[in-house]
Amino acid sequence: MRSHCAEPEIKEILISREKIQSRVRELGEEISRDYAGKPLMLIGVLKGSFIFLADLMRHITIPCSVEFICLSSYEGGTESTGIVRMLLDLRSDSSGREVLIVEDIVDSGLTLNYLMDNLRTRHPASLEVCTLLNKPEERKIPVPVKYTGFEIPNKFVVGYGLDFQECYRNLSYIGVLKV
């Protein structure tokens, strides 16, 4: 891990703050309509989804609770190792609940596939996925994503919660790192 975060070394702004904010609002409205009358359990996948989840939740107008799970698959690099480890588990029971996983990005699909298999064993009433970003070109395993903010090309992105070696999460836009 870097000892400090340098000035942003961003070569391209892929998605502006304004575009993110308006799409997140739309997603919140859509989710609120789809789950009307069904109390929702949001499960944020740490750390990358925390900013998206916080903004999304403020646009969800139906009753909902939030839980966090922490998975690790990249181990500080820019390519998935394929080995997923659970670093933090849910603190409340998800059985019989309407569960919506909130992810920052789906790339190979390995992380999400692991998480969905794991959560299915706990018998939720329903299990769906909302991801801010989707990189379909890199998919190694099919995963059912119900809500997608943006489809992006196969580039390593940072900002709005996504990091490179724990830096750049605080950017309000999604950018491509200079390499």
Kindly list the residues in this chain that would bind ligand 5GP in the complex (CB under 6 A): 45, 48, 73-74, 80, 103-112, 156-158, 162-164
Complex with ligand 5GP: residue 32 or 113, whichever CB lies closer: 113
Work out how close the CB of 120 gets to ligand 5GP at its nearest, in angstroms, rounded to a whole number: 17
Nearer to ligand 5GP, 41 or 105 (CB): 105
Nearer to ligand 5GP, 27 or 110 (CB): 110
Answer yes or no: 89 catalytic: no
Q: CB of 161: closest distance to ligand 5GP in angstroms?
A: 9
Alpha helices (H) along the chain: 17-34, 50-58, 110-120
Catalytic-labelled residue, pool 55, 104, 107, 163: 107
Q: Give the C-alpha separation, 125 to 123, whole Å.
A: 7
Three-class secondary structure assignment of 105-155: EECCCHHHHHHHHHHHCCCCCEEEEEEEEECHHHCCCCCCCCEEEEECCCC
Point out the residues that are catalytic.
107
